[in-house]
């Protein structure tokens, strides 16, 4: 009887361990990043996007900001723990804002190299989620 139960028990334990591994073991190492960094990108009807960045720890050494998917790539480097950048966007994208993600490459005094990615949204819409990563 024990032999008939071994494969399903093993499969169940293996499945649970795989799920725990995939979701990060129940602890989210991105919490520190979420609590430290804020980024937002808002489109205004006047034809521009306002991108704001804030590092609550004030330990940012530099930030390279890039807007992907543009005909002419937009990239700018900042050396402060907070900034607001206005970028002209005279035409709304035909396929939505998801084709123009905002990517920040951050050099942080304590956290090292950190990447943030978000999308532009309209002023009245909720902010899309920010993707945090440490390469």
> pLDDT tens, 73-107?
899 999 999 999 999 987 888 888 888 999 999 99
Residues 29-133, CATH architecture? Sandwich (2.60)
pTM score over 0.95: no
Side-chain half-sphere exposure of 9, counting CA atoms within 13 A: 6
Residue 50: C-alpha distances to residues 6, 21, 53, 63, 123 (Å): 58, 38, 10, 16, 10
* DSSP-assigned letter for residue 125: S
pLDDT of 4 reads 56
pLDDT(11) > 90: no
Backbone φ and ψ for 83, nearest 5 degrees, come out as -160, 160
pLDDT score for 12: 45
DSSP 11: H
pLDDT at 71: 81
Residue 91 has what pLDDT? 80
Q: Which residues pair with 41 in a beta bridge?
A: 51
pLDDT band at 3 (very low <50, low <70, confident <90, very high): low
For position 41, what pLDDT does the model report? Answer: 96
Q: Over the stretch 18-67, which tens digit does the pLDDT of each residue have?
A: 444 444 444 456 899 999 999 999 999 999 999 999 999 999 999 999 99
pLDDT of residue 90: 78
Does 9 score more than 70 pLDDT?
no
The span from the CA of 84 to the CA of 53, in Å, is 7
Length of the chain: 135
């Amino acid at each position: 009887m024990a032999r008939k139960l071994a494969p399903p028990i093993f499969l169940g334990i293996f499945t649970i361990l795989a799920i725990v591994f995939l979701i990060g073991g129940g602890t989210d190492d991105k919490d520190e990043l979420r609590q430290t960094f804020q980024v937002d990108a808002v489109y205004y009807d006047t034809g521009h996007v306002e991108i704001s960045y804030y590092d609550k720890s004030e330990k940012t050494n530099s930030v390279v900001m890039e807007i992907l998917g543009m005909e002419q790539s937009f990239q700018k480097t900042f050396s402060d723990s907070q900034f607001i950048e206005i970028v002209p966007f005279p035409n709304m994208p035909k396929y939505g804002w998801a084709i123009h993600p905002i990517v920040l490459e951050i050099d942080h005094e304590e956290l090292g190299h950190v990447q943030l990615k978000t999308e532009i949204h309209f002023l009245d819409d909720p902010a899309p989620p920010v993707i945090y990563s440490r390469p």
